[in-house]
């Protein structure tokens, strides 16, 4: 799976969690860009991504993420193992 495919699938996860089909993700997208992105929805995003990509994230990995680009990189790292 390449970066573009991860973005496409992750965008669907975000749109589903936030019930907003207009969400478009970029490397720099972060919680400050989506008003409903609170701690509960952050957990929902992580769980949704785990389910979508068939991977598991460690709490320490997720805690270090600053934006969507870093999340995509983490997903790609997990998928390559």
pLDDT digits (tens, 9 = 90+) for 32-67: 999 999 999 999 999 999 999 999 999 999 999 999
pLDDT in tens, 4-25: 999 999 999 999 999 999 999 9
Going by pLDDT thresholds of 50, 70 and 90, the confidence category of residue 81 is confident
Architecture of domain 3-79: Orthogonal Bundle (1.10)
3-state secondary structure (DSSP) of residue 74: helix
Q: Which of 18, 1, 20, 11 is nearest to 49 (CA)?
A: 11
* Structural domain boundaries in the chain: 3-79
The pLDDT score that the predictor gives to residue 17 is 97
The pLDDT score that the predictor gives to residue 33 is 96
Q: Please state at what angle helix 68-79 crosses helix 39-53, rounded to 10 degrees.
A: 30
The pLDDT score that the predictor gives to residue 1 is 92
What CA dihedral angle connects 38, 49, 73 and 41, to 10 degrees? Answer: 0
């Amino acid at each position: 799976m390449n970066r573009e495919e991860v973005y496409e699938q992750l965008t669907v996860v975000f749109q589903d969690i936030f019930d907003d089909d207009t969400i478009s993700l970029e490397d720099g997208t972060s919680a400050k860009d989506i008003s409903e992105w609170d701690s509960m929805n952050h957990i929902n995003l992580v769980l949704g991504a785990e389910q979508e990509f068939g991977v598991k994230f460690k709490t320490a990995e997720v805690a270090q993420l600053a934006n969507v680009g870093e999340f995509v990189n983490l997903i790609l790292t997990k998928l390559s193992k």
